[in-house]
Amino acid sequence: MELIRHLFVGFIILSQLHLGNGFLLACYFTNWAQYRDGASRFTANDIDPFLCTHLIFAFASIDERFQVVSTEDNDETAYKIFNDLKLKNHKLKTLLSVGGWIFGSARFNNVVSTQSTRRAFIKSVIHYLRQYNFDGVDIAWHYPGAKGNPAENKNLYTRLIVELKTSFVEEASDTQQYELMLVASMSAGKQLIDDSYEVSVISRHLDFIIVMTFDFHGPWNIFIGHHSPLRQNKNEHGDLQYLNVEYAVKYFRSQGSPGKKLLVGFATYGRSFKLQTTSWRIGAPANGPGPKGKYTNQPGTMAYYEICDFLKGADKHWNSVQKVPYAVKEGVWIGYDNVRSIDVKVNWLRAERFGGAVVWTLDLDDIVGSCREGYSPLVTRLKMELSVASGLQLKTLAMKTFLAMMAITQTA
């Protein structure tokens, strides 16, 4: 009986382990959100240090000497505030994202072109991360295989990743410091994946891969489509069948990446279109982007807090195939994510045993109170669902262990 009592206590301890241990939740912070007006303004001071397991500061740049440099005048001050969040949450990890969509490929093309230029960049990365107390780097090259880039970039990108990892390991050994993390954000488009990444090789050298499973569709299209659908729609054929979360992340796995290293992208913004006709079904003709959001001020894009204002008086719909919501009002169509679609995507992510989620971005969630769902409701829901998933895994393991040990005691 005494042995059974100890086993039971051990089972209780196992079942109550920290719920966040199973999945990662990486969240981007953008250094330009500080320029928005009123309640939508967001700075490093506004970040909840316990909301995400990893925080990613976007973006740093690269100068003509292949050195990492800041992009805003007050970045160095923001770096300190950002990394001091680890004093409040000792489990938190912080990363610096280098590159981004606007930065493009030109400077990266020069960085990877020779061993000496790669070496100069890598040395700068290490120095910069240590100087400002980041735990790692996110290589945000959008994208090595993009149109107009050299065909050899696919192999040169691999060399950059391998050499970065090798240098991180050597630097940690030489200095007796923790090893810097190496992460990369990658396209979710099949053709760009094929043209840009030797997935089976680079995945061995990356701590995790951010699969940017959003912006599959947007106002650059001449037809309506959701920007982050879980699954293929019924009327999508040819290349359109690849433009969904499920296909993209599974494709990375099929190309050689371990599932546990893949983080699934979640967007806290929506993409909108002006309707060309009275039809609002997926694939219906579009007539350009929807109107600018009040705060984000970008045609065709709305933060979640702007979407909640749009939804007042709108016709709201749920796509039962793609598992995402959309809404129509006054000739404007918008696709977005809400707590329902997040629940569905996390259940799928858990069933597929992927590594977790990544959010673009913290400042586009509801930080102004428009949705009346609490502060940052999408990321909060994502955290809760990932934590519950982790907890279920731990409790299942604990129960199996307990029952197995009970069986042993009964046959002893």
Domain ranges of the chain: 2-267+339-411
- Kindly tell me the sign of the dihedral angle through the C-alpha atoms of 21, 22, 23, 24: positive
From the options 3.20.20.150, 3.40.50.300, 1.20.210.10, 3.20.20.80, give the CATH code of 2-267+339-411: 3.20.20.80
Closest CA to 89 of 27, 40, 14: 27
**Tens digit of pLDDT at every position of the chain (412 positions):** 443 434 333 433 333 334 345 899 999 999 999 999 999 999 999 999 999 999 999 999 999 999 999 999 999 999 999 999 999 999 999 999 999 999 999 999 999 999 999 999 999 999 999 999 999 999 999 999 999 999 999 999 999 999 999 999 999 999 999 999 999 999 999 999 999 999 999 999 999 999 999 999 999 999 999 999 999 999 899 999 999 999 999 999 999 999 999 999 999 999 999 999 999 999 999 999 999 999 999 999 999 999 999 999 999 999 999 999 999 999 999 999 999 999 999 999 999 999 999 999 999 999 999 999 999 999 999 999 999 866 544 444 444 443 344 444 444 4
Distances (CA, A) of 150 to 63, 189, 202, 206, 244: 20, 19, 19, 23, 27
DSSP summary character for residue 293: P
Query: Degrees (nearest 5) of the Cα angle 387, 393, 398?
Result: 125
How far out from the chain centre does Cα 122 lie? Answer: 24
Closest CA to 337 of 360, 355, 356: 360
**pTM of the predicted model as reported, rounded to 2 decimal places:** 0.90
Structure tokens at 378: 């999408």
Number of residues that this document lists for the chain: 412
How many CA atoms within 13 Å lie on the side-chain side of 52?
A: 26
Assess contact for 164 and 217: CB atoms under 8 A.
no
**What gap in Å lies between CA 78 and CA 43, rounded to an integer?**
8
366-371: long-range contacts at Cβ-Cβ below 8 A with a sequence spacing of 24 or more?
366/303, 366/304, 366/305, 366/308, 367/39, 367/40, 367/42, 367/46, 367/305, 368/38, 368/39, 368/40, 368/295, 368/305, 369/39, 369/305, 370/305, 370/306, 370/308, 370/309, 371/304, 371/305, 371/308
Distances (CA, A) of 355 to 123, 193, 203, 271: 29, 19, 13, 26
SS3 56: strand
